[in-house]
Amino acid sequence: MIVTRFAPSPTGYLHIGGGRTALFNWLFAKHHQGKFLLRIEDTDRARSTDAAVDAILEGLKWLGLEWDGEAISQFQRKDRHAEVVAEMLANGTAYRCYCTPEELDAMREAQKAAGQQPRYDGRWRDRDPSEAPAGVAPAIRLKAPREGETVVKDHVQGEVRVQNSQLDDLILLRSDGTPTYLLAVVVDDHDMDVTHVVRGDDHLTNTFRQIQIYNAMGWKTPEFAHIPLIHGPDGAKLSKRHGALGIEAYRDMGFLPETMRNYLLRLGWGHGDAEIISTEQAIEWFTLEGIGRSPSRLDFAKMENLNAHYIREAEDARLVTLTTPFIEAKIGRALTDVEKDRLRRSIPGFKPRVKTLIELADGSLYLFAARPLAMDEKAGALLTAEVRGQIGALAAKFAEAGEWTAGALEAIVRDFAEANGLKLGKVAQPLRAALTGTTVSPPIFEVAEILGREESLSRLEDVKNHG
């Protein structure tokens, strides 16, 4: 069975690159009816926080990337990591190194002075343990091969190799008994039966060292796929300067999770020229070979266009649920059931017009505004004393409407405009101002229908009477 994993370090939110890595692992597992596991790499106690763990779990859930089984804490597995190192000591693939930090510093300085790459010179590799200085707790190092080469056959990068003479004997267990990151990752991936490691290509150099640990334990290495990083719209490596790095920022900007899945998929993976790819389709098509080799660039306009598509496709009731919190945050109170119903009936009018849930929330605020409506500048300017009189006359006609539908109301406005020798726009635009407090909205007769008879007439009365 195919087993993948996502292994974030909980030092901050789930960033967009992490979201993409998780997505690729999830899709690959789904494509093969395998398992997608989650491991929290919380061994760096100083930088790992519970809040970051929660943010990551929440981000993954929001993206719809559910993992199989319980999330695993790497830190809690530290005894198992130490146990493996004990096995390596026993089988002769690891050794104790008694160098003090001062000694290591001196080694590094001397190498630098001689124009060499600083690296551990292996001085305790073959030394007799009886020479161990008293009172120094040893670190445990891998007895890495010195000859030959280590090769990564990567599904994205191809065959990448390094001469073993270039790699020094890495530390497996620090002198305080804590496992190093490189060791922990290998032991965990092995114990979790991970078959495919899909991660950012910033980890490629770690892979050589990890393969050496697999070999030392006689374990089968997983397959690897190292994904190129994401760059900002300007082509530079993604950084804080580009803003909006956390997945939750996209949720808060009113993007739908299916938009993000589609967008992140296309960010570094392709299938012909397909741009709009549903999650079902993605599961069917996903292969590691479809991952591109060059870094991809964020393109916010493209993300918005995709979001507009998925908003059009979404069910009205779901959009109401998703938009309600945005509206409630803006108006500072909960929506009533009547208002939610108004919102639901207004959704079809918004679907062709909005790119984000925020635009939908903003556009719908007139539905929930307290009377008398606050007029924006343009709307206020339109409603002169004369125009307010005209609104009053129109309101009287509306009050007689047999049925309160967009069609019936439009007919009344047309008759009214004709009877008064006015162009339709000269009546419709002030009507829009009176009903919404703005000069832009979905089609105004639909707006009136959605507001309903009572609310519409009251708003028109307000305009007639106030000024």
Binding site for ligand GLU (CB under 6 A): 7-9, 41, 185, 199, 203
What's the DSSP call for residue 67? P
Q: Measured from the CB of residue 282, what is the shortest distance to ligand GLU in angstroms?
A: 21
**CA-based Rg of the chain, rounded to a whole angstrom?**
32
Active-site residue flag, 220: no
The sign of the CA dihedral 122, 125, 128, 129 is positive
Cα 31 to the center of its chain, rounded Å: 21
Nearer to ligand GLU, 7 or 60 (CB): 7
The contacts of residue 388 (CB under 8 Å, 6+ apart) are: 463, 464, 467
Nearer to ligand GLU, 210 or 438 (CB): 210
The contacts of residue 301 (CB under 8 Å, 6+ apart) are: none
Nearer to ligand GLU, 7 or 319 (CB): 7
Q: Measured from the CB of residue 260, what is the shortest distance to ligand GLU in angstroms?
A: 19
Please classify residue 104 by burial: count the beta carbons closer than 10 Å to its beta carbon, then call 0-12 exposed, 13-18 middle and 19+ buried: middle
Q: What tokens appear for 170 in the block?
A: 């890495």
Q: Specify binding-site residues.
A: 240
Cα distance between residue 178 and residue 95, in whole Å: 15
* CB 152 within 8 Å of CB 224: yes
Nearer to ligand GLU, 5 or 340 (CB): 5
Which residue number is nearest to ligand GLU in terms of Cβ?
199
Q: Measured from the CB of residue 21, what is the shortest distance to ligand GLU in angstroms?
A: 7
- Give the DSSP H/E element, type plus range, for residue 149: strand 149-154
Cα distance between residue 260 and residue 307, in whole Å: 8
Q: Measured from the CB of residue 50, what is the shortest distance to ligand GLU in angstroms?
A: 17
* 181 SS3 class: helix
Nearer to ligand GLU, 8 or 430 (CB): 8
Nearer to ligand GLU, 6 or 350 (CB): 6
Q: Specify binding-site residues for ATP.
A: 240
Nearer to ligand GLU, 124 or 269 (CB): 269
What are 148-152's contacts with CB under 8 Å, separation 24+?
Answer: 150/208, 150/211, 150/212, 152/204, 152/207, 152/208, 152/211, 152/224
Q: Measured from the CB of residue 236, what is the shortest distance to ligand GLU in angstroms?
A: 20
Q: What is the DSSP string of 404-438?
A: --HHHHHHHHHHHHHHTT--HHHHHHHHHHHHHSS
Q: Measured from the CB of residue 5, what is the shortest distance to ligand GLU in angstroms?
A: 8
The sign of the CA dihedral 84, 88, 93, 99 is positive
Catalytic residue among 35, 61, 112, 240: 240
Q: Measured from the CB of residue 195, what is the shortest distance to ligand GLU in angstroms?
A: 14
Cα 163 to the center of its chain, rounded Å: 38
| Residues marked as catalytic | 240
